[in-house]
Amino acid sequence: MAVPLLPDLSSRLETEEWMDDFSIADARLTRALRDLRRINRLLGGYRATDRALDPALRHHDRLRLLDVGCGSGDHLVHLARRGERFGCTLDLIGVDANPVTVGHARAHLDQHLPPRLRNRVRVEIGDAQALSHDAGAVDIAHAALFLHHFHGPSAVRVLSEMQRVARDGLLVNDLHRHLLAYVGIWGLSRALGLAPMVQHDGPVSVRRGFRRADLHTLARGARLPAPTVRWHWAFRWTLSTLDLDA
């Protein structure tokens, strides 16, 4: 299993992932979404979100959170359980542009959350660059492994919209564009026999990921107030306007 020629990671790749093609709505997508949840668990993908959100969960009895680009709903399931662990009632809204993926998310929530938590989660079809929610409609806007699907002005609009709808601020959890991350996901996706879509999109998503300067540039473009950028294992960044010590 020879790794292909190592890519130039000096700047973000603008090539789209297969998952960005909404015409793919069959078993290929179903398997890919399942395998992405598996990879997220294996690589500790929730950890970066937890480190930023746990202080808020500790200090609030109730929060309203919008998960932008919610995909198949794995973070919604995790967040609902996490809130209950900390004694914080979370009212969760997931938004995704792909109607098929929204259907998968609703089914995943039905399967993995008990009614007491499932009743507090809804998933909507929506555009991250033009959210349908009013200013300050939620406490926190969150996006995991989503911002890297956007470039330039589009990425800035996503951040601006997230900040607009969130009273307390936003939290972005996304990929570090790094050679080890690229080689790692290339090898792991093949060693585990993951879906062809994941084998293709995993390395591409790393190439579309960020370095610290990229995130600061986008934050300035979106005029985010007091943004904080932090690195997390394994090769994740968080960009946040939350009070991380709250």
Instruction: Tell me the per-residue pLDDT of 28-66, one tens digit each, with 9 for 90 and over.
Output: 999 999 999 999 888 888 999 999 999 999 999 999 999
In 3-state terms, what secondary structure has residue 175? strand
**Is residue 171 in a domain?**
yes
Question: DSSP secondary structure string, 199-216?
Answer: HHHHHHHHHT-B-HHHHH
Q: How confident is the model at residue 42, as a pLDDT?
A: 86
Encoding tokens for residue 144?
């995991």
Residue 4 domain-assigned (yes or no): no
Tell me the residue range of the domain where 169 lies: 18-240
Q: Provide the number of structural domains found in the chain.
A: 1
In a domain, 198, yes or no: yes
Are the C-beta atoms of residues 163 and 141 closer than 8 Å to each other?
yes
Q: Which residues contact 136 (CB under 8 A, 6 or more apart)?
A: 165, 166, 167
CATH number for the domain spanning 29: value is 3.40.50.150
- Asked whether residue 156 is domain-assigned, the answer is yes
Strand partners, 170: 141
% the chain with pLDDT above 90: 93
Q: What is the pLDDT of residues 213-224, one digit of tens each?
A: 999 999 999 999
pLDDT at 2 over 80: no
Domain annotation covers residue 9: no
* pLDDT of 246: 54
How far is it, in rounded angstroms, from Cα 235 to Cα 182? 10
pTM tops 0.85: yes
Kindly state whether residue 2 falls inside one of the protein's structural domains: no
Residue 60: inside a domain, yes or no?
yes
Residue 246 within a domain: no
pLDDT surpasses 60 at 1: no
Q: In what order do the strands lie in the sheet with 138-144?
A: 121-125, 89-96, 62-68, 138-144, 166-175, 236-240, 228-232
